[in-house]
Amino acid sequence: MTHRETQAVHAGREDFAELGVHAPPLDLSTTYPIPDLAEGVASFRDLVDGQAEAANSIYARMHNPTVARFERALAAMEACSDAVAFASGMAAITACLLAAHEHGDHVLAIRPLYGTHDHMLDSGLTGLPVRWTTPDTLAADITATTALVIIETPANPTLDMVDIAAVAATVGDVPVLVDSTFATPVLQQPARLGATLVLHSATKFLGGHGDVIAGVVACNDSWAVSLRKIRTATGGLLHPLAAYLLHRGLTTLPLRVEQAQANAVELARWLHEHAAVSRVFFPGYDTVTNPHLVDTQMRGPGALISFELAGGHAAAAALMQHVQVATAAVSLGSVDTLIQHPAGLSHSMLDADTMAETGITPGLIRLSVGIEHVDDLWADLEQTLSAGAHAG
């Protein structure tokens, strides 16, 4: 099972033959019968100690077989030995920061990051202060007590890319967290490039149908133990129904990502040529950092496009209001196209300076391209863009 299309369909289903089932069983138990006390005691201890499984699942905050299958599938797709799933992407990030306390006393992070992630680091909520750095200053900023280095690539919403292998080489033994939500394991496998923790908001492409909030971290066995201990203690659990939907969603992930990406390539080109659009940000374009990484680190640009409207905030508001095929909404990675305004919505919690430095202007729109027919998507955007261009 070396190809991701095959893994997407078969991974995490190793026990099906033994169970005699064709679809994953959805196990909603909160507690599990303990027929043998000695075995129950040993299992309880194993799960509290962060083991991936035990003879008895004991209690659903410690282990759930439906969730565990999704974790095994995602780990295989990320070329990692394990993965740990959480109630949301932010719960997954929180667990990583709590686990990082074992490794040092501060984190180094490169902007831009997802708005709430940036805000959480800045607020110091998890007790691990952040020092903001850049790829150029990273080497000088590393100290013996750096607990974790955090990057997001491609980044939200600028689509800037960070060279994962270069970061990993620079930081040596310091663990590196890569938020790979925009890329999915279809387009990028950060662990192969030296990342320690590969983070996804599974709410986005992994779920893919706009009906699950979830997060997952792919990593090695020892980090998985730390993350499971924290999950058991803090209770940031993925619900088994959500895990079921995610596991099912993974089967079509490669198809969905390829189709959405093909649409995005066309739309980015047409947006770039349109008079109402002043700049298009898309992996591979010279408006983003490290455009070459689209062909080396990634297997394509993905399905997120940001673009700046010449008409500024008013034009952005008009576009959001008038689209009919696309949905004006935050979030991304769904089968349907979503359009949103980072300055007013997803990144509104950033202070004005950070927003300006990050390139989040009032006329910036972020488009998460879906799998509709590209001609319908363009007709939808084009009519409003052209009306605006003629008016102004």
Contact footprint for ligand PLP (CB under 6 A): 88-90, 114, 117, 152, 156, 179, 181, 201, 203-204, 213, 215
Which residues lie below 8 Å from residue 161, measured CB to CB, with a gap of 6+? Answer: 153, 154, 155, 283, 288, 289, 290, 291, 293, 294, 297, 298
In the residue annotation, 204 being an active-site residue is answered as yes
In the residue annotation, 229 being an active-site residue is answered as no
For ligand PLP, the closer of residues 78 and 179 by Cβ is 179
Selected catalytic residue, list 32, 46, 114, 380: 114
Selected catalytic residue, list 27, 61, 248, 336: 61
For ligand PLP, the closer of residues 40 and 344 by Cβ is 344
Residue 97: both structure tokens together: 């920061």
Shortest Å distance, C-beta 80 to ligand PLP: 18
In Å, how far are 213, 280, 351, 368 from 329, measured between CA atoms?
15, 20, 22, 10
For ligand PLP, the closer of residues 56 and 156 by Cβ is 156
Shortest Å distance, C-beta 188 to ligand PLP: 13
In the residue annotation, 61 being an active-site residue is answered as yes
Shortest Å distance, C-beta 266 to ligand PLP: 23
φ, ψ of residue 148 in degrees (nearest 5) = -165, 145
Shortest Å distance, C-beta 384 to ligand PLP: 25
H helix runs in the chain, sequence order:
4-10, 16-19, 37-48, 65-77, 89-100, 115-123, 138-141, 164-171, 184-187, 221-234, 240-251, 253-273, 293-296, 312-322, 352-358, 374-391
Residue 67: both structure tokens together: 């969730």
Question: Nearest to ligand PLP by Cβ — which residue?
Answer: 89
For ligand PLP, the closer of residues 69 and 117 by Cβ is 117
In the residue annotation, 179 being an active-site residue is answered as yes
Selected catalytic residue, list 4, 72, 111, 204: 204
Selected catalytic residue, list 179, 228, 256, 380: 179
Please tell me the distance from the alpha carbon of residue 246 to that of residue 138, in angstroms, as a whole number: 35
Residues with catalytic function:
61, 114, 179, 204
